[in-house]
């Protein structure tokens, strides 16, 4: 495997991708475009996808058996873009073989599984990362610059959410079965908003959660989207929530409201992050008919001011993969062992536990 030498002295990294659905295809494209990486292997159950993307990017190794790929392809790095319940066994196996790993979000179906992945990364001395692509949005990066500048002062309250008009991903697929997905809308898209907001706020610890979940659309066969429709299993039940809300307590006394919904009677999809600080407030919204927007409210020389920061390009999955490659190149595995996404998983665990118990639940340390 690649050693921790200066970047200009390091050989090219040998990369593989497991899973060739939409997310996996983004990882394939990112590796193929990276001049420091050789995309040498792909693994998927679907032969036509192996042929399509193998031919498109001239990938020599094509495997239906992912374990065979890990054993034979001599990989330095691998992306795991499979159903959530497969992340843990695949990551632990790859890490044990000396391969650095990035998975799609969520990290695993629960915090215990995520914790075992972190332990495996530490034991192997390899990088474990999770692709939170939405924090690489241009507007998120712009707002992070505003927060870090101190313009908003101390942040004490935030609201965030992702609400879809009709967006249950493949009714009757692994997405809507509790054992394979680990949860519904909060696990699937709420995790993105949680990650973005905590990232913007400077990573405060979440200490407790009070949450509720609802399933009003999925059990009736309503609210489905075309995403994942090819994976539908006849008679598969709808076992997860299509809406979740949570009140989260943060260390230092701050609070965060989180909502996520796959289907709702609203005119259009909407994502938002709103931050409240002692010296100013700010919001990001996208999905509305007016398109993405970022606004900051503060004072300049005692005069109320509304600011509209310049927004750069979105990074998408390519930026998440590039960050992963840079972490591997750095050789600093102690800072990149999956601990941060593991904390996200523990927060989601607490939300689901709270919704089940009907009371506030502490987030496990």
Same domain? For 127 and 162 the reply is no
Supply the CATH number for residue 149's domain. 3.30.360.10
Instruction: Report, as an integer, the average pLDDT of 270-291.
Output: 92
pLDDT digits (tens, 9 = 90+) for 81-139: 999 999 999 999 999 999 999 999 999 999 999 999 999 999 999 999 999 999 999 99
pLDDT at 79: 98
Confidence tier at 3 by pLDDT (50, 70, 90): very low
Same domain? For 325 and 303 the reply is no
| Residue-number span of the structural domain to which 147 is assigned | 138-313
User: pTM of the entire structure?
Assistant: 0.92
Strands (E), the chain: 13-18, 37-43, 61-63, 77-80, 100-104, 128-131, 155-163, 168-169, 206-214, 224-225, 243-250, 255-261, 270-277, 281-286, 293-300, 303-307, 361-362
Same domain? For 70 and 121 the reply is yes
Cis peptide before 106 (omega within 30 of 0): yes
Same domain? For 282 and 157 the reply is yes
Match 């050693």 to its residue by tokens. Answer: 3
Partners of residue 298 on adjacent β-strands: 305
In a domain, 85, yes or no: yes
DSSP structural state of residue 174: G
Report the Cα 215 to chain-centroid distance in Å: 23
In a domain, 65, yes or no: yes
In a domain, 345, yes or no: no
pLDDT at 229: 47
Same domain? For 95 and 146 the reply is no
pLDDT at 214: 97
In a domain, 46, yes or no: yes
Instruction: Assess whether pLDDT exceeds 90 at residue 65.
Output: yes
181-207 in b/e burial notation, b at 16+ Cβ within 10 A?
bbbbbbbbbbbbbbbbbbbbbeebebb
Same domain? For 150 and 267 the reply is yes
pLDDT digits (tens, 9 = 90+) for 138-182: 999 999 999 999 999 999 999 999 999 999 987 778 888 888 888
pLDDT at 4: 42
Report the Cα 329 to chain-centroid distance in Å: 22
Q: What is the largest CA-CA distance in the chain?
A: 65
Token pair, residue 354, equals 């709270």
Same domain? For 121 and 217 the reply is no
More confident residue, 47 or 177: 47
131: closest CA among 295, 268, 323?
A: 323
Same domain? For 115 and 216 the reply is no
Provide the domain count of the chain: 2
Average pLDDT of the chain is 93
pLDDT digits (tens, 9 = 90+) for 202-240: 999 999 999 999 999 998 888 887 665 445 455 567 899
Instruction: Assess whether pLDDT exceeds 60 at residue 282.
Output: yes
Instruction: Report, as an integer, the average pLDDT of 326-340.
Output: 94
DSSP structural state of residue 310: -
Instruction: Report, as an integer, the average pLDDT of 304-313.
Output: 94
Separation of alpha carbons 205 and 249, rounded Å: 9
Same domain? For 214 and 236 the reply is yes
Partners of residue 157 on adjacent β-strands: 255, 276
pLDDT at 291: 74
pLDDT at 294: 95
Report the Cα 299 to chain-centroid distance in Å: 34
């Amino acid at each position: 495997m690649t050693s921790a030498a200066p970047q200009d002295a390091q050989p090219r990294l040998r990369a593989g991708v497991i899973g060739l659905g939409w997310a996996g295809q983004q990882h394939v494209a990112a590796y193929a475009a990276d001049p420091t990486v050789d995309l040498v292997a792909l693994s998927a159950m679907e032969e036509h996808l192996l042929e399509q993307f193998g031919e498109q990017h001239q990938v020599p190794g094509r495997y239906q058996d992912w374990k065979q790929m890990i054993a034979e392809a001599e990989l330095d790095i691998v992306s795991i873009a499979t159903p959530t319940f497969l992340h843990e066994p695949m990551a632990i196996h790859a890490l044990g073989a000396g391969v650095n790993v990035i998975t799609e979000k969520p990290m695993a179906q629960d915090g215990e599984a995520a914790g075992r992945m972190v332990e495996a990364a530490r034991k192997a001395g390899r990088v474990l990362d999770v692709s939170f692509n939405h924090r690489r949005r241009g507007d998120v990066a712009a707002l992070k610059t505003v927060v870090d500048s101190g313009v908003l002062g101390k942040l004490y309250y935030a609201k965030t959410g992702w609400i879809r008009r009709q967006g249950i991903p493949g009714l009757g697929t692994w997405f809507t079965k509790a054992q394979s997905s680990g949860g519904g809308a909060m696990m699937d898209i709420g995790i993105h908003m949680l990650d973005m907001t905590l990232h913007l706020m400077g990573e405060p610890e979440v200490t407790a959660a009070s949450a509720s979940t609802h399933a009003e659309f999925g059990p009736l066969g309503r609210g489905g989207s075309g995403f994942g429709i090819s994976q539908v299993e006849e008679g598969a039940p709808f076992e997860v929530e299509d809406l979740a809300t949570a009140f989260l307590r943060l260390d230092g006394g701050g609070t965060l409201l989180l909502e996520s919904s796959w289907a709702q009677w609203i005119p259009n999809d909407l994502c938002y992050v709103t931050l409240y600080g002692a010296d100013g407030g700010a919001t990001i919204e996208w999905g509305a008919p007016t398109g993405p927007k970022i606004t900051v409210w503060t004072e300049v020389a005692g005069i109320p001011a509304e600011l509209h920061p310049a927004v750069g390009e979105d990074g998408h999955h390519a930026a998440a993969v590039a960050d992963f490659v840079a972490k591997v190149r750095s050789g600093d595995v102690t800072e990149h062992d999956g601990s941060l996404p593991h904390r996200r998983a523990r927060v989601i665990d607490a939300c689901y536990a709270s919704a089940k118990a009907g009371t506030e639940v502490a987030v496990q340390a």
